[in-house]
Amino acid sequence: MRGHEPRSTSSCAACKLLKRRCSPNCIFAPYFRSDEPKKFAEVHKVFGASNVSKILVEVPEEQREDTVNSLAYEAEARLRDPVYGCIGAIALLQRKMIQLQHDLALARACLARYVATPSVIVSSDDHHRVITGPFDDFPVDCGVSFDSFNQNISYELNQEAI
């Protein structure tokens, strides 16, 4: 765990940003190293140093690193999307999962329908019936369009990146 590593003599990222002297018992030092100034700056901008300090004091020491990582993730998401934060990302992923489950169900139904009806090919030369295996001439689209879903995913990912 990073909290138990020996500290260098330099100030932590929090004390540097707040322009104060970093004491040996600084609550921020184990979690906001001096080489990660952006991490604390984002957390400070969204939650405020005082609130983060209060949260860290209330959380048991063995859970503080996870707490800081959660705060940093939420702060980054909140800065990207001030209205929804990380809930927007969760909702987007849930919508994608529902769409993928729907597409998978359609593909399974199509496959089941195709496997249930054997293909029969009649040869014009000798008028013999030849029964082919279920996957010999499997239709590509089976009446289901996945292109619109792929375009929708690409659009949403591009919008999220912007």
**3 state SS of 122:** strand
CA–CA distance, 143 with 71 (Å, rounded to integer): 46
Mean pLDDT lowest for which of 41-45, 89-93, 104-108, 115-119? 115-119
CA 128 from centre of chain: 56
Span 129-155, pLDDT tens digits: 555 555 555 544 555 455 555 555 555
**Could you tell me how many helices (H) and strands (E) the chain has, helices first?**
6, 2
pTM, to two decimals = 0.57
Span 30-64, pLDDT tens digits: 999 888 899 999 999 999 999 999 999 999 999 99
Do 134 and 119 touch, CB atoms closer than 8 A?
yes
Round the average pLDDT of the chain to a whole number and report it. 79
Q: What is residue 114's predicted lDDT score, i.e. its pLDDT? A: 85
* Torsional sign, CA 65, 71, 72, 73: positive
Q: Residue holding tokens 């983060």? A: 52
- Interior angle at CA 40, CA 44 and CA 76, nearest 5: 80
